[in-house]
Structure 1
Amino acid sequence: MPISHSAFVEMYGKAILSGNAAVFVGAGLSRAAGYPDWAALLAPMQSRCSIPDHHDLPLVAEYITLDPANGGRDALVTHILTAITAVLPVPTPSHQILQKLAIKEIWTTNYDRLLETAIPEAVVIGGEGATHEIASHLRAIIKMHGSVGAVGTWEQQPVITRTDYERYELDHPRTWTVLRSSYMSRTMLFLGFSFSDPNIEILLRLARTLGTASDDRHIAVMKPPNGPTDTDDVRRIHQLRVMDLENSGITVCEIQDHSEIPNLLADLALRTRPPRLFIAGSSNLPDATAEQDEGILGPWCAAVAATLVDESGWEIHSLRGPAGWLTSRDVARTRLKEGNYDPSQIVLHFRGKSAPPDAPPERVGTSIYTDLSREQLVPDVLEDCRALLAIRGGGRTAEEIRWASDRRVAVIPVAASGGAAFEYWEANLAAPPDIGSRRTDKSTWELLNDSDPGIAARAAKKLLEQAMYKTPSAS
């Protein structure tokens, strides 16, 4: 039974956070960048050699090499090189998100340079003699089936024919041994594969020969046949293939369209960010005094702080605006009294290094000073946060909410406090945004506007737990 998107994010996210994740990238990610698929790649040579259509594309390539008059191996390899180098290696959003994920081993059967362009810090392993470098680098891209170089030539000759496939273990014993070891010791994600992809047989061979324990499963993201021309027989074959994978220890996460992959990976990147919360908001009064801020925001900040006190694993970040300061202060006060205060868990960001801010009435958390502008600093901080909590606020808070939304950071507004928080809440009342890769309960969203600060804060805490992936996702 295929797993849900939220279950995938939780399962593979945990593998990344434990340092035990690997990924195997198939042709699907290259097609999204404009590269031809296998059938399109072989089609001109197949037509020239008068080879009928056949589902076994490596066998078609084999037949091309057996026709020296119209094809031959040299002509086929040159044709493939020309087709690949005709497309500029511009990484897709999926490649860019892979760069952000802490995955040490990235395996691929693709010839192009998309992965190394997106992840320039990784060492590229393209031959038998370099496999020993995998363990000595923080990140490695292992190109199993050949690689096009930066100057438009083959750095490693391609694996393309049926003979190449059948002799792979004999001709590449070290690479195959390392792949088997990685498969047995890591949680591997197969991404960009389809059952029509010739390289799917690598996945199937690993699954059938090595298997895996039921509590240590690998994952394949697959698209089922859902087109208007797909027959019941085609759909049934897909179901049987999924069952085959599941029985061999590879669980399947189904997507309805390949365009879903970037969103799936973006949720995964969010899941593996540090558990950080950014607090935004103000009294929304011009030139408000500290006493005015306290009078307007105090009850809401105190209620929120009371729910955050026990979440010692979460970092609380702010620009030391009124809402951020009051909430952080109240959390710190309680933790100090209870003897579990850790200043590193409360971070206050100050802008400008020439004029220090007025000294706060008490020291709280860790202060970080920067000369970045607010427009640079806030997005930079949000890149490493899972959630933004908004308490009242005006135009600047609304802008920070937009910055957070653009980065898929969960925005949780204490709507009853008014201002920008209420405006965002009201705009999303009919269809609350997903939080933590899961749907947001509408009744919980409605409670964010309860006039009782305690009730609104409890609703916010429930959604914060969802944003922090504290609540297990149902598969």
Structure 2
Amino acid sequence: MKLNREKELFVKAVLKELEEDNLAIFAGAGLSVGAGFVDWRGMLRPIADELELDISKVNDLVSLAQYHCNENGNNRSKINDIILNEFSRNVEITSTHSVLSALPISTYWTTNYDKLIESALEKRGKCVDVKHTNEHLTLTKRGRDTVLYKMHGDVDFPSDAILTKDDYEQYHLKMEQYLSALKGDLISKTFVFIGFSFTDPNLDYILSRVRISYEKNQRQHFCFIRVENKNDYENEADFEYHSRRQELFINDLKRFGIKAIKIKEYFEITDLLREVESRYKRKTVFISGAAYEYGQFSKQDALFFLHKLSAGLIESGFRIVSGFGLGVGSSIISGALEKIYMHGGKYSPEQLILRPFPYDETTGVDLKKYYTQYRTDMISHAGVAIFLFGNKLSRTDDVVLSDGMREEFEICIQQGIPVILVGATGYMAKTLLDEYLSEQELPEGFVALLNKLDGTNNLSEMEELLFHTIKNACEMERLSYA
């Protein structure tokens, strides 16, 4: 993906913060609109109609909600009913939600009432600690991967949702703990604001106080701004007026340490996040292998090679994903852990992702039918894949090729992951290499990666070539195949 300088710097900055677990997402209504939910203006249209007001001419929507409560004796039952019905509908998560959920982001903030963020994260198998009351702040969900702060409430509790002027005026008293938590995150983390208009009084309150306290030392945050389009206006004068106002707004955001990334269309947000995901995954290597025997290599030499390979990947800053394959898994784990612990490092689940396969069909269920989904999920973490050896012992005690490795190879092709087949290790790795080198329509870069490591039985030379090939694969653009 070709990026201009501004977007390239954004991707690099986000990657750095992501790898250090310093990235946070702040989601506004615009993120949910793509799934089919209404924005604030759409939600309050029936309220405006009831008050005999033109919603298109109303700028202060918070006051509009308050007017309705005033006219109904401070009764907000209709507003609660709108929130419940509008945001409890079953809708599909958007591609932006999906990409975000794939990244190791541990902190989310949102003013949205819907459940799209937690649904996307849970679909990825992540444990989400959702907080929308003061009591939630004192509790920690065991095994959580992500904390989601719903600072304006949840659709299941519409009477507690923050919407009217009364709600906002009392927020700093009733929900002071949330403002303190948000202030702390704005000070210590880099935020990416998505679908947010910066008209929320609560956020403005916090941003102002962070700016006053840390004016010279604010963290850099980012947001996306769709630049004004001439086609949206009836005449040149209107376009120029709104363009000028937008530029002034973008410059004002700099006071709060927020850099606006300009886009022409909203789909560019998803594309940029996909680029972040792609580059992040390039530093994650999936190792596919199984070995009952080791062909031309002695068992001792082969295991030492696997140990060094794993340790070298960790030392070079890569992450490893492995299914703990027969005859290779233990050496991969020991090499990685040795490099992490013996050199003063600290183990992180992101460094070594292990997905051992269940082999005993004790429940009477054929586990093989679940393996495809299991493998697909495991491989989805990686940006490059290595295939080694590939044999197992059959039920009749014959050494046969590993059919699971073939399936993993096909999944990698489907996901567009560059593949390195180490043909010198023989068995399924060599079989796949021979099969796919005979194909005439493979992309040139893909063939080069396949072909590079065949024909050597020197383990030291193979290790050197393998690391060189991995680095080349990580520098390639993400590939896609039909």
TM-score range, shorter chain: 0.5 to 0.7
Q: CA deviation at 1:114?
A: 2.5
Matched with 1:59 is 63
Alignment of 1:392-471 (within 5 A): 400=408, 402-404=410-412, 406-407=414-415, 410-412=417-419, 426-428=441-443, 460-466=469-475
2:37 is aligned with what amino acid? Y
Matched with 1:16 is 18
Alignment of 1:138-287 (within 5 A): 138=144, 139-149=146-156, 154=158, 156-161=160-165, 163-194=166-197, 198-199=199-200, 202-211=202-211, 216-226=219-229, 228-230=231-233, 231-270=239-278, 275-278=283-286
Q: Is the 8 A contact 2:84 2:155 kept in 1?
A: no
Structure 1 vs Structure 2 CA RMSD: 5.3
> How big is each residue's C-alpha offset from its partner over 1:314-360, in whole Å with a ceiling of 9 and x where there is no partner?
44858979xx99xx99xx9xx9xxxx9xxx99999899679xxxxxx
Matched with 1:379 is 376
Q: Using a 3 Å threshold, how does the CA distance of structure 1 residues 134 and 244 change in structure 2: closer, same or farther? A: farther
> How big is each residue's C-alpha offset from its partner over 1:82-132, in whole Å with a ceiling of 9 and x where there is no partner?
542562255434434444444333221112233344445333322234333
Alignment of 1:308-323 (within 5 A): 311-313=313-315, 314=318, 315=320
Q: TM-score, normalised by structure 2?
A: 0.63
| Alpha-carbon distance in 1 for matches of 2:274, 2:185 | 24
| Alpha-carbon distance in 1 for matches of 2:246, 2:436 | 46
Q: Using a 3 Å threshold, how does the CA distance of structure 1 residues 134 and 448 change in structure 2: closer, same or farther? A: closer
User: Counterpart of 2:164 in 1: which secondary structure?
Assistant: coil
More relative contact order, 1 or 2 (CA 8 Å, 6+ apart): 1
Unpaired runs of at least 5, structure 1: 282-288, 295-304, 355-369, 433-444, 470-475
Matched with 1:109 is 111
| Alpha-carbon distance in 2 for matches of 1:129, 1:350 | 40
Q: Using a 3 Å threshold, how does the CA distance of structure 1 residues 227 and 137 change in structure 2: closer, same or farther? A: farther
Q: CA deviation at 1:167?
A: 4.1
Unpaired runs of at least 5, structure 2: 234-238, 298-306, 344-350, 362-366, 391-402, 424-429, 455-460
> How big is each residue's C-alpha offset from its partner over 1:370-410, in whole Å with a ceiling of 9 and x where there is no partner?
9787635542431332212579x9x99886455225446x3
Matched with 2:129 is 123
Q: TM-score, normalised by structure 1?
A: 0.64
Matched with 1:78 is 80
> How big is each residue's C-alpha offset from its partner over 1:21-79, in whole Å with a ceiling of 9 and x where there is no partner?
332221122212211111111112212212241222223333333434xx965254235
Q: CA deviation at 1:422?
A: 5.1
User: Counterpart of 1:127 in 2: which secondary structure?
Assistant: coil
Q: Using a 3 Å threshold, how does the CA distance of structure 1 residues 411 and 79 change in structure 2: closer, same or farther? A: same
| Alpha-carbon distance in 2 for matches of 1:187, 1:346 | 26
| Alpha-carbon distance in 2 for matches of 1:376, 1:411 | 20
Q: Is the 8 A contact 2:34 2:94 kept in 1?
A: yes
2:384 is aligned with what amino acid? A
Matched with 1:286 is none
Q: Is the 8 A contact 1:108 1:144 kept in 2?
A: yes
Q: Using a 3 Å threshold, how does the CA distance of structure 1 residues 275 and 375 change in structure 2: closer, same or farther? A: same
Q: Using a 3 Å threshold, how does the CA distance of structure 1 residues 468 and 159 change in structure 2: closer, same or farther? A: same
User: Counterpart of 2:117 in 1: which secondary structure?
Assistant: helix
Q: Is the 8 A contact 1:65 1:76 kept in 2?
A: no
| Alpha-carbon distance in 2 for matches of 1:47, 1:89 | 26
Q: Is the 8 A contact 1:190 1:220 kept in 2?
A: yes
Q: CA deviation at 1:413?
A: 6.2
| Alpha-carbon distance in 1 for matches of 2:60, 2:358 | 61
Alignment of 1:3-42 (within 5 A): 4-42=6-44
| Alpha-carbon distance in 1 for matches of 2:130, 2:323 | 40
Equivalent residues, number: 407
Matched with 2:138 is 132
Q: Using a 3 Å threshold, how does the CA distance of structure 1 residues 62 and 353 change in structure 2: closer, same or farther? A: closer
User: Counterpart of 2:472 in 1: which secondary structure?
Assistant: helix
| Alpha-carbon distance in 2 for matches of 1:116, 1:317 | 27
Q: Is the 8 A contact 1:414 1:456 kept in 2?
A: no
| Alpha-carbon distance in 1 for matches of 2:406, 2:6 | 33
Q: CA deviation at 1:143?
A: 1.7
| Alpha-carbon distance in 2 for matches of 1:225, 1:9 | 23
1:466 is aligned with what amino acid? E
Q: CA deviation at 1:412?
A: 4.8
Q: CA deviation at 1:265?
A: 4.0
1:277 is aligned with what amino acid? V
Q: Is the 8 A contact 1:58 1:160 kept in 2?
A: yes
Q: CA deviation at 1:259?
A: 3.3
User: Counterpart of 2:44 in 1: which secondary structure?
Assistant: helix
